[in-house]
Amino acid sequence: MSSNKTTQGPENGQQRGKGFSRRTFMQGVGAGSTAVAALAPAAQAAPPPSPVGPGPVPMTLKINGKTHSVRLEPRVTLIDALRNHLDYTGAKKVCDRATCGSCTVIVDGNAVYSCTMLAIEAQGRDIQTIEGFTTPAKMHPVSENFVKHDAQQCGFCTPGFVVACKAFLDKNPNPTMADVEKGLSGNICRCGTYVGVREAALEAAQQVRGGRRGD
Amino acid sequence: MEDRSLIGKRINRLDGPVKATGQAKYAYDKHLDGLLIAKLVSCPHAHARIKKFDIASAEKMPGVRAIVLMAKEGDEIQWVGAEVAAIAADTEELARDAVAAFRVEYEILPHMVKDEDLTKAGSRVSPSDEKVEGDPDAAFQGSDLVIHEGYYGLNTITHCCLEPHGQVVDWKGDQITVYASTQAVARIGADLAKNLSADPEMGNVAPGQVVILTDHMGGGFGSKFAIDTWGIACAKLSKKSGKPVKLMLDRDQELMVAGGRPSDYANVKVAAKKDGTLVAYQSESWSTSGVGRGGAPPLPYVIEPPNRKSRHLNVATNTGPARAWRAPNHPQAAVLTMCPMTDLAAKLNMDPLDFFKKNAELTVRADVYRSELDKAAELMDWKAKYHAPGDKSAGHIKRGLGLSIHTWGGRAHDSQCRVSIHPDGSVACELASQDLGVGNRTVIGIVLAETMGLPIEAVEVKLGDSRYPPSGASGGSTTVGGVTSSTRRASVKAVEKLKEAVASELGATVDEIEAKDGFLRVKAQPSKRIAWKAACRKLGTRTISEVGEQPDRDGGKLNDSGVGGVQMADVSVDVETGIVRVNKMVAVQDVGLVVSLKTAESQVYGALIMGICSALYEERVYDEMTGKLLNADMEFYKLAGIGDIGELVVHMVTGVYDDRGVIGIGEPPAVSPCAAISNAVANALGVRVPTLPLTPDKVLAALEKGGMA
């Protein structure tokens, strides 16, 4: 498996073919910071960059293929932008410290903890939230199998798990149980639904491989 | 009752699709026009007196709309993180800025945050409970006894609900609407009204003015029964600002103040005859529930030797206060009973499976435990895997087995349910109950649909609204018995009314008609039938509406209380690193009639996993010097991940105790994991790691002290 240094979040360990670890996670964050610096290539080419903020500044976010123009303070995280300002509440705010994965969204194809990314650095990127690829009427195979295998109780971690699982299967279409355990190790559930999650991920993988894609 | 079509079957959770697609709206997700965000000002000291509030500096901050004090100058604060004020502002960021600008002057007072070492607790110790049966002092002097004495314990853990405590309050005119993350939809409104009425600034508030809405809630585990200080403050902020306000605890606050499961430590002495028959048990235990007093663990637990004595002490500490946590006091009691008994079995050279089967006589349900021990042993392959304490195999990975047994009541709470059958054939029921994620909606839907003879998709379950008929709070495994009984009674009454409407057309009496497979039909002649929708059309413009109650005033019993349950653990311990891993756990659980098999199994899987979390990882770590909680985050307050759980086997005992009716399942399977895992680690190592969580440092320390290191 190739190493993708811009990957942040749950499936990072899987990307590297080793166990998920704090070290690989921190490398991911480091890469994320690099991305901040690389945020506006035009600004880099024409120094000095003009500072923005601290008050609200205009931002454009591309979420689920739709462009949203908002005015937010530069310090607003992506999770807070999604939840407080745009009413995308599928992603949940739980630890707010890049530990639990409940806020997972997909940015440029990679699973990302949206509590660790600023909304301003998500500009120009392709942001996918759970609302973008699955609905109760037309469930993505991952959601469908979370229901079938009862991989949810209170459900507060569930959207983060579903997004992480989709992002994982997109890159690892043929996982073993051990792969699933590594790939989803960046998400935490309190009710204890992991047995269902393991089964759901494996069966969803089969269905996705079989050409049943929900997106 | 073999012809049941839904009860006892594996039915998908009714709210599964909305949860698995992110559409389910929790209190934390609620948006209203003009919504303000509120944040709490927390005390940074473990014990302090408030000398002075300076709210002016916060009031001047941009975007601040209202400030509410939650304590008074002169008040004593008893734990770190305690809420002293709440501030509502236009955005979350501005609310945080205002909290940072809010000044409180404290007089710092002496604190104590650790309770394990009783010798350091001094005047903070007070007697809690003492029980004696038989003559334990004389019994321990008996001849030909094998006696074991040991120290055991487990630390305080938190609930760590993923949706933190909190709510959105929208106070408009006379109406106060609360979108709450609560376990008690029918109760917290009156609690809020009473508390608001006590504040002259708020005026008199009647309970009927308050509406509680809880469509979905993100975990409670016993910690979300009250309106809480932040609920009251949130309402006051809404009144003062004239806007809806959202106040959810931050993660650090959630871990500091929103609930802990009390610790328990004990010196235990147990004695048995050489054949393994238990003769006496004695415990000197202590625990902390924070600065207040908590309950005492029921010791000895489940197995009651004829001579026994237990004395419990309460230690007041400056730590976040205790709240009910799945099966209050039972997980602790299981550790303080099953662990010393397992060590006594080792001293007797007995396999604990044989020891516990022999002493099942000393429980109130010997046959239940014996049969469940046999079933669990079969699923664990216990007899083939078991070895005497201390894995003698080569290498640094040592393997071991342990077990524990448990009990719980789970009696039904009071409940009313209103069932409606409409002329268009639609069916709905309403209860001011709540689904904490345990499957309450699904259980109710199964009973409703089963009684109507309809598929589950054909009925609608409405709950989470305090305007519906009241149901009890969801705690102590009381919900399922309550809501299934009220729903069943309301459904039976409603469908009787529909039978009346079609009786003449079917040429039969109401008693001769059954609702089955989408038809009302004559029992003796099923081909004489009328389809559900056609039957309902006969109502014309009339809607059938019937209320059922638990308890039923005319008697009748659809539920019961009192269950057993056995769990076994198979673990590996790395004696070089001290790391414990669970290879496999088995849970055998009886709960009378299982209504919703799939969600019931999920409850047991969840209980095992929560048990792995608390046995191996969870620990509230306070700093003795500063009194601060060092791990008030999810990075260092550790929970198990998907790779930490091993193989889990859940066996629901079905078809055996169905006649008892419905009994709650939330608590019983949450009791045994800690004791079973601790026993498995002791079996692997040949030495007891005395206190939980079984972290690597404690495992290595125990190995160094004695055993096979």
- Closest CB to B20: pick one of A91, A129, A152: A152
CA distance A74 to chain B (A): 11
Strand intervals (E) in chain A = 57-63, 66-72, 104-107, 110-113, 126-128
Residue A17 pLDDT more than 70? Answer: no
Are B162 and A197 in contact (CB < 8 Å)?
no
Please state, in angstroms and rounded to a whole number, the distance separating the CA atoms of residues A203 and A207.
Answer: 6
- Does the pLDDT at position B438 exceed 60? yes
Q: What is the pLDDT of residue A212?
A: 60
**Nearest-neighbour CA in chain B from A45: distance (Å):** 32
Q: What is the pLDDT of residue A46?
A: 65
Per-residue pLDDT at A49 exceeds 80: no
How close A143 gets to chain B, by Cα (Å)? 5
Amino acid at A4: N
- Let me know: does A24 contact A18? Beta carbons within 8 Å: yes
CA atoms within 13 A on the CB side of B695: 14
User: Under an 8 A CB cutoff, do A93 and B28 touch?
Assistant: yes
CA nearest neighbour of B593 among B436, B450, B414, B406: B450
Whether residues B437 and A75 touch (CB distance < 8 A) is answered with no
Identify the sign of the CA torsion A147, A149, A154, A155. negative
Do residues B615 and B678 make contact, with C-beta atoms less than 8 angstroms apart? yes
Whether residue B610 and residue A135 make contact (CB cut-off 8 A), yes or no, is no
Give whole-number Cα distances, B239 to A159, B171, B182, B189, in Å: 34, 6, 21, 16
Residues in chain B closer than 8 A to A73 (CB atoms): 91, 93
Average pLDDT, rounded, for chain A: 84
Q: Which of A79, A156, A184 to mutate to test the interface with B (most CBs of B within 10 A)?
A: A156
pLDDT digits (tens, 9 = 90+) for B141-195: 999 999 999 999 999 999 999 999 999 999 999 999 999 999 999 999 999 999 9
Q: Is the pLDDT of residue A30 over 60?
A: no
Helix (H, G, I), strand (E, B) or coil at B56: helix
Split at pLDDT 50, 70, 90, the class of A48 is confident
State the pLDDT at residue B707.
57
Is the CATH number of domain B260-409+561-705 3.30.70.100? no
| CB spacing of A194 vs B31 below 8 angstroms | no
Q: Write out the two tokens for B80.
A: 């770190």
Cβ distance A150 to B22 less than 8 Å, yes or no, reads: no
With a cut of 80, say whether residue B464 has pLDDT above it.
Answer: yes
Q: Provide CB contacts within 8 A for B31, sequence distance 6+.
A: A87, A89
Using CA atoms, how far residue B291 sits from A112, B114, B251, B262, B328, in Å, is 41, 12, 22, 11, 18
Structural class in CATH, domain B31-110+165-248: alpha beta
Percent of the residues in chain B that have a pLDDT greater than 90, as a whole number: 97
Instruction: Select the more confidently predicted residue: B276 or B555.
Output: B276
Mutation test of the interface with chain A: which of B13, B21, B217, choosing the one with the most A Cβ atoms within 10 A?
B21
Q: Which two tokens stand for residue B481?
A: 């018995």
Note whether A12 and A20 are within 8 A (CB): yes
State the best of A99, A114, A191, A198 to mutate against chain B, taking most chain B CBs within 10 Å.
Answer: A191
**Which of B216, B599, B634 is nearest residue A97 as measured by Cβ atoms?**
B634
Query: Do B513 and B528 form a contact (C-beta atoms < 8 A)?
Result: no
CATH fold of B16-22+412-550, please?
Aldehyde Oxidoreductase; domain 4 (3.30.365)
At residue B138, what are phi and psi to the nearest 5 degrees?
-70, -40
Helices and strands, number each (H, E), in chain B: 17, 29
Give the closest-approach CA distance of B308 to chain A in angstroms. Answer: 36
User: Does the beta-carbon distance from A152 to B437 stay under 8 Å?
Assistant: yes
What is the pLDDT, as a whole number, of residue B295? 86
- To test the contact with chain B by mutation, choose from A194, A197, A198, A215 the residue with the greatest count of B C-beta atoms within 10 A, namely A194
What whole-number distance in Å separates Cα of residue B173 and Cα of residue B205?
Answer: 11
- pLDDT band at A209; cut points 50, 70, 90: confident
Whether B16 and A152 lie within 8 Å, measured CB to CB? yes
Tens of pLDDT, residues B99-123: 999 999 999 999 999 999 999 999 9
pLDDT confidence bin for B554, thresholds 50/70/90: confident
Nearest to B17 among A73, A147, A150 (CB): A147
By the 8 A CB rule, do B178 and B210 touch? Answer: yes
* Joined tokens for residue B479: 């919900």
The pLDDT value given to residue B3: 81
- List CB contacts (< 8 A) between A94 and chain B: 162-164, 251, 634
Contact A155 B605 (CB under 8 A): no
Task: Measure B655 CA to nearest chain A CA, in Å.
Answer: 23
Query: CA B320, CA B113: separation in Å to the nearest integer?
Result: 10
Determine the distance in angstroms separating the CA of B523 from the nearest CA of chain A, rounded to an integer: 34
Chain A: residue whose CA lies nearest to B601:
A150
Asked if B218's CB is within 8 angstroms of A150's CB, the reply is no
Distance CA(B236)–CA(B233), nearest Å, equals 5
β-strand partners of B307 = B280
Contact between chains at B219 and A147 (C-beta distance less than 8 A)? no
Fold of A141-209: DNA polymerase; domain 1 (1.10.150)
Among B92, B251, B599, whose Cβ lies nearest the Cβ of A150?
Answer: B599
pLDDT, tens digit (0-9, with 9 covering 90-100), for B662-672: 999 999 999 99
| Binary contact (B251, A182; C-beta < 8 A) | no
B280-311 tens-digit pLDDT: 999 999 999 999 988 899 999 999 999 999 99
| Shared fold status for B16-22+412-550 and B260-409+561-705 | yes
Where is pLDDT greater, at A47 or A9? A47
Contacts of A195 in chain B (CB under 8 A): 605, 609, 645, 648
Give the tokens for residue B464: 């989470």
Residue-wise pLDDT for B471-511, tens only, equals 999 999 999 999 999 999 999 999 999 999 999 999 999 99
Cβ(B478)–Cβ(B664) under 8 Å?
yes
* B60: CB partners within 8 A, 6+ apart: B101
pLDDT of residue B135: 98
A143 neighbourhood in chain B, CB within 8 Å: 17, 20-21
Q: How many CA within 13 A on the CB side of residue B313?
A: 21
By C-alpha distance, the chain B residue nearest A73 is B93
Locate the domains of chain A by residue range. Answer: 141-209
In terms of phi and psi (left: phi > 0; alpha: psi -120 to 50; beta: otherwise), the region of A100 is alpha
B620-638 pLDDT tens trace: 999 999 999 999 999 999 9
Quote the pTM value.
0.94
Q: Report the pLDDT value the prediction gives residue A52, as an integer from 0 to 100.
A: 86
**Residue B108, token pair as written in the block:** 């710092």
Q: What is the mean pLDDT of chain B?
A: 97
pLDDT for B349-397, tens place per residue?
Answer: 999 999 999 999 999 999 999 999 999 999 999 999 999 999 999 999 9
CB contacts, 8 Å: B21 with chain A: 90, 130-131, 134-136, 139-140, 143, 159, 162
Contact A92/B28, CB-based, under 8 Å? yes
Rounded to the nearest angstrom, the minimum Cα separation between B435 and chain A is 8
CB-count exposure of residue B227 (10 Å: 0-12, 13-18, 19+): buried
Which sequence spans correspond to the domains of chain B? 16-22+412-550, 31-110+165-248, 260-409+561-705
The DSSP bridge partners found for residue B419 are B429, B546
Q: What does the pLDDT look like over B586-615, one tens digit per residue? A: 999 999 999 999 999 999 999 999 999 999
Residues in A closer than 8 angstroms to B610, CB to CB, are 190-192
Q: What is the pLDDT of residue B62?
A: 97
